[in-house]
Structure 1
Amino acid sequence: MDFSWSTQQRAAQSAVLEAVREAFDGRPGTDFFTRGQWRTLGDLGLLGLCVPTEYGGQGLGALETAGMVEAFGRGCADTGLVFAASAHLFACTVPIADFGTDTVRTKLLPGLCSGDLVAGNAMTEAEAGSDVSRLAVTAERTDGGWLLSGEKSFVSNGPVADVYVTYATTDPWAGHLGVTGFVVERDTPGVTASEPFDKLGLLACPAGTVTFDRCFVPDEQVLGGEGMGGAIFQHSMGWERACLFAGYLGLMDRLIERCVEHARSRRQFGHRIGDFQAVAHRVVEMKLRLDSARLLLHRACWQMDQGEDSVLSVALSKLAVSEGALASAVDAVQIFGGRGYRRDQGIEAYLRDTVPSTIFSGTSDIQRLLIAKELGL
Structure 2
Amino acid sequence: MDFDLTERQRKRHEELLTALAEGTTERPPGAERPYDRERWSAAAGLGLTGLCLPGEYGGGDLDALDTALSLESFGEGCSDTGLVFAVSAHLLACGVPIRDFGGEAARAELLPGLASGALIAANAMTEDGAGSDLGTLSVTAERDGDRYVLHGEKSFASNAPAADVFVTYAVTDPGGGYLGISAFAVPRELPGVQVGETFDKMGLSSCPAARVRFDGVSVPVRLLLGHEGQGSAVFTHSMAWERSCLFAGYLGMMNRQLRLCVQHASERRQFGKAIGSYQAVSHRIAGMKQRLEGARLLQYHAAWLLSQGRTDNGAIALAKVAVSDAAVANSLDAIQLFGGSGYLRETGVEVDLRDAVPAVIFSGTTDIQRELIARGLGL
TM-score, normalisation: structure 1: 0.98
Letter in 1 for 2:40: W
Taking the aligned partners of 2:103 and 2:245, their CA distance within structure 1 comes to 24
1:80 Cα shift?
A: 0.3
Q: Which residue of 2 aligns with 1:123?
A: 125
Q: Which residue of 2 aligns with 1:196?
A: 198
Matched, 1:13 2:20: no
Q: Is the 8 A contact 1:28 1:77 kept in 2?
A: no
**Pairing 1:215-254 to 2, within 5 Å after superposition:** 215-254=217-256
Letter in 2 for 1:161: A
Taking the aligned partners of 1:331 and 1:21, their CA distance within structure 2 comes to 26
Q: Which residue of 2 aligns with 1:206?
A: 208
Q: Which residue of 2 aligns with 1:160?
A: 162
1:3 Cα shift?
A: 3.9
Q: How many residue pairs are counted as aligned between the two chains?
A: 377
Letter in 1 for 2:119: L
Q: Is the 8 A contact 1:40 1:115 kept in 2?
A: no
Matched, 1:339 2:341: yes
Letter in 1 for 2:130: A
1:276 Cα shift?
A: 1.1
Instruction: Flag the 1:77–1:169 CA change in 2: closer, same or farther, 3 A.
Output: same
Q: Which residue of 2 aligns with 1:136?
A: 138
Instruction: Flag the 1:104–1:368 CA change in 2: closer, same or farther, 3 A.
Output: same
Q: Which residue of 2 aligns with 1:22?
A: 22
Q: Which residue of 1 aligns with 2:105?
A: 103
Letter in 1 for 2:373: I
Q: Which residue of 2 aligns with 1:56?
A: 58
Matched, 1:275 2:287: no
Q: Is the 8 A contact 1:171 1:179 kept in 2?
A: yes
Q: Is the 8 A contact 1:29 1:203 kept in 2?
A: no
299, 321, 324: which is aligned to 2:323? Answer: 321
Letter in 2 for 1:63: L
Q: Is the 8 A contact 2:183 2:225 kept in 1?
A: yes
Write out per-residue CA displacement over residues 216-261 of structure 1, whole angstroms, 9 at most, x where no aligned residue: 1111100001011001101000111110000000011111001001
1:28 Cα shift?
A: 6.1
Q: Is the 8 A contact 1:133 1:230 kept in 2?
A: no
Write out per-residue CA displacement over residues 124-147 of structure 1, whole angstroms, 9 at most, x where no aligned residue: 011111111210111112111211
Taking the aligned partners of 2:277 and 2:80, their CA distance within structure 1 comes to 31
Letter in 1 for 2:178: H
More displaced 10-residue stretch of structure 1: 79-88 or 166-175: 166-175
Taking the aligned partners of 2:21 and 2:252, their CA distance within structure 1 comes to 12
**Pairing 1:234-313 to 2, within 5 Å after superposition:** 234-313=236-315
Q: Is the 8 A contact 1:28 1:78 kept in 2?
A: no
Q: Is the 8 A contact 1:62 1:239 kept in 2?
A: yes
Q: Is the 8 A contact 2:31 2:345 kept in 1?
A: no
More displaced 10-residue stretch of structure 1: 50-59 or 19-28: 19-28
Q: Is the 8 A contact 1:27 1:78 kept in 2?
A: no
Q: Is the 8 A contact 2:97 2:238 kept in 1?
A: yes
Taking the aligned partners of 2:210 and 2:361, their CA distance within structure 1 comes to 16
Taking the aligned partners of 1:104 and 1:3, their CA distance within structure 2 comes to 38
Taking the aligned partners of 1:112 and 1:309, their CA distance within structure 2 comes to 24
Taking the aligned partners of 1:181 and 1:189, their CA distance within structure 2 comes to 19
Letter in 1 for 2:321: L
1:344 Cα shift?
A: 0.5
Secondary structure of residue in 2 paired with 1:59: coil
More displaced 10-residue stretch of structure 1: 279-288 or 305-314: 305-314
Of all paired residues, the percent bearing the same amino acid is 55
Letter in 2 for 1:265: E
Secondary structure of residue in 2 paired with 1:347: coil
What runs of 5+ residues in structure 2 fail to find an aligned partner? none
Letter in 1 for 2:330: S
Matched, 1:72 2:74: yes
1:172 Cα shift?
A: 1.7
Taking the aligned partners of 2:284 and 2:175, their CA distance within structure 1 comes to 52
Q: Which residue of 2 aligns with 1:31?
A: 33
Q: Is the 8 A contact 1:29 1:204 kept in 2?
A: no
TM-score, normalisation: structure 2: 0.98
Taking the aligned partners of 1:7 and 1:28, their CA distance within structure 2 comes to 36
Write out per-residue CA displacement over residues 162-193 of structure 1, whole angstroms, 9 at most, x where no aligned residue: 00000001112221111100000001001000
Q: Is the 8 A contact 2:254 2:327 kept in 1?
A: yes
More displaced 10-residue stretch of structure 1: 7-16 or 34-43: 34-43
Taking the aligned partners of 1:337 and 1:344, their CA distance within structure 2 comes to 13
1:211 Cα shift?
A: 0.2
1:49 Cα shift?
A: 0.6
RMSD over aligned Cα atoms: 1.0
Letter in 2 for 1:158: A
Q: Which residue of 2 aligns with 1:179?
A: 181
